[in-house]
Amino acid sequence: MITIGRSQVSISPWKLSYGSRIQFWGILFILPTILFFMVFKYGPMGWAIYLSFTGYDIVTEPKYIGLNNYISIFQDPMFLQALNNTLVYIVGSTIAITVLGLGLALIINTGIRGARFFMSSMFLTNIMPILAVCLVWRFLFHPHGLVNQLLAPFGLGRIDWLTNSNLALPAIIIVTAWRFAPYFMVVFLAGLLAVPKEIYEAADIDGATWVSRFFRITLPMISPIVFFVIVVSALLCARIFLMPFIITGGGPGGATRVLSMLIYETGFSYLKMGRAAAISVVLFLIMMCFTIIQIRLFSKGEEH
């Protein structure tokens, strides 16, 4: 009951029209979810954005400092290096995941013997615990580890995968592709299976080669899937944390320190939470760009 002037206007839900009552109940039912997101998602996000304009050391009260954190991080070589690493990692991993995932899907789609077993065993890389994966790869990439031993017959000498600043990030990209490509292989495979066989049959009659079939039929037909994989894997890679954290600890010389690691260290190790929040906002904007691209591509795809 709401009082307006001297008159009382009843807005009790029980006296609403049928349509309004449906809406009322609908809102009531989704209210817990809305509250959940407000408290655990949008609330912290808003709080992080606020903190990015403050000097906050976790312990004392946040103090408003305007854009200082943003100005400061863009003058900080550690941040610029992490930003560069993150972008290189996103681009490198996305290309590797897409090419490898599509390649594997094409192989399986040929209907080779043992395809199901091959697919299942490949998918295992995606469900293995990340900690175990990272520790195993640390041993594999050891200067005298299995990777170098396998490469030795090809005349490649000792490669310091994880301790050379030019190779450490590519090594992490290799592990990322190894882990996630099989997952996206399944996505590609679904797309490949949806391509009508008649088109290939017609192409065969016209004497199309395997290459022209791939570039003129397969790729155009599954292009929405390709875009989907590119955007989703880029988003996935933008958030990467554990792999470089466990495998190299961000080293050597910060060569594998990505933004998410820098956020963690800045906030919880250096106790500069305001600054960490500013870096988070930058990472959020990067991911937002990918999300906007994804939304636009999908809306175009739907129109198509």
| Contact residues: other proteins, CB under 8 A | 14, 55, 57-60, 72, 75-78, 142-144, 157-158, 160, 162-165, 249, 251-254, 265, 268-271, 273
Q: Which residue number, 100 or 261, has a Cβ lying nearer to other proteins?
A: 261
8 Å CB contact between 125 and 179: yes
Nearer to other proteins, 33 or 75 (CB): 75
**Considering the complex, what minimum distance in angstroms separates the CB of residue 283 from other proteins?**
19
Is the separation of the CB atoms in 262 and 279 below 8 Å? yes
Q: Could you tell me which of 257, 249, 237 has the C-alpha nearest to residue 180?
A: 237
Which lies closer to other proteins via its Cβ, residue 72 or residue 291? 72
Residue 9's region, left for phi above 0, alpha for psi from -120 to 50, else beta, is beta
CB of 32 to other proteins, least distance (A): 13
Nearby residues of 131 by Cβ (< 8 Å), 6 or more positions away? 242, 246
Question: Considering beta carbons, is residue 222 or 273 the nearer one to other proteins?
Answer: 273
Residue in this structure with the two tokens 């009790």, named with its chain if needed: 12
As measured in angstroms, the least distance from the Cβ of 254 to other proteins is: 5
Q: Which two tokens stand for residue 202?
A: 């017609």
Nearer to other proteins, 199 or 271 (CB): 271
42/278 Cα distance (integer angstroms)? 16
**Cα 140 from Cα 82, distance rounded (Å):** 25
Residue 265: both structure tokens together: 């260290």
What is the torsion angle, in degrees rounded to the nearest 10, for the CA atoms of residue 114, residue 118, residue 120 and residue 126? 180
* 56, containing H or E segment: none
Q: How far is the CB of 269 from other proteins (least distance, A)?
A: 5
- Minimal distance, residue 247 CB to other proteins, in Å: 12
State the minimum distance, in angstroms, from the CB of residue 173 to other proteins.
Answer: 19
Token representation of residue 152:
């030795």
Q: What is the nearest approach in angstroms of other proteins to the Cβ of residue 290?
A: 29
Q: Which is nearer to other proteins, 5 or 77 (CB)?
A: 77
Smallest distance, other proteins to C-beta of residue 15, A: 11
Measured from the CB atom, is 13 or 301 closer to other proteins? 13
Q: Taking a C-beta distance cutoff of 8 angstroms, is the pair 230, 184 a contact?
A: no
* 304 vs 302: CA distance, rounded Å: 5
- 160 versus 298: smaller Cβ distance to other proteins: 160
Give the span between the Cα atoms of 68 and 70, in whole angstroms.
5
